[in-house]
Amino acid sequence: MGTTVSHTLQIASPPERLLSTLRDIATYPEWQQDVESAEVVESDERARPLRARLVLSAIGMRVTQVLAFEHTEQQLVWRLVEGQEDAPISRNDAVFQLARTADGNTELQVRQDLEFRLKLPQSLARRIVERRSTAMLRQLKSAVEKAQP
């Protein structure tokens, strides 16, 4: 059974800058504490990532995942397409939906779906996903807002 979490947050940055940060896979280890390394393995004609390999380290585990990305002008979607067979996570899908606010900043809506291979009580799985997702979004917001000119 999967666990889905959703968040909405305001970011003091235009949507284009936020999308640029999300698409800059190589910088993920700089602003996401759980990402040890990240590399783009396939890009589209506009240099946007289509597939990326990430090495993640969290809650005492280290795993490698390959994520596939889809892009629109207001959205970034990723889904897990390849992972270690012994990894604790069998699904890692996320949708980042951006909207420009009246003041030119961004409202970000995020939905992340994770599924664990481990047999965990649903309440524990939800708590783990909620904490990791909240931490990642806090780190994203900080990285984007610090990059403001």
Q: What is the Cα–Cα distance from 100 to 107, expressed in whole angstroms?
A: 6
One DSSP character per residue, 57-115 reads: EETTEEEEEEEEEEEETTEEEEEEEEE-TT-SEEEEEEEEEEEE-TTS-EEEEEEEEEE
Q: What pLDDT score was predicted for residue 104?
A: 94
Q: What pLDDT score was predicted for residue 59?
A: 67
Q: What pLDDT score was predicted for residue 131?
A: 86
Which pTM was predicted?
A: 0.89
The SS3 of residue 147 is coil
Tell me the mean pLDDT per 10 residues along the chain, length 149.
87 95 95 95 96 87 92 95 78 94 96 81 77 90 85
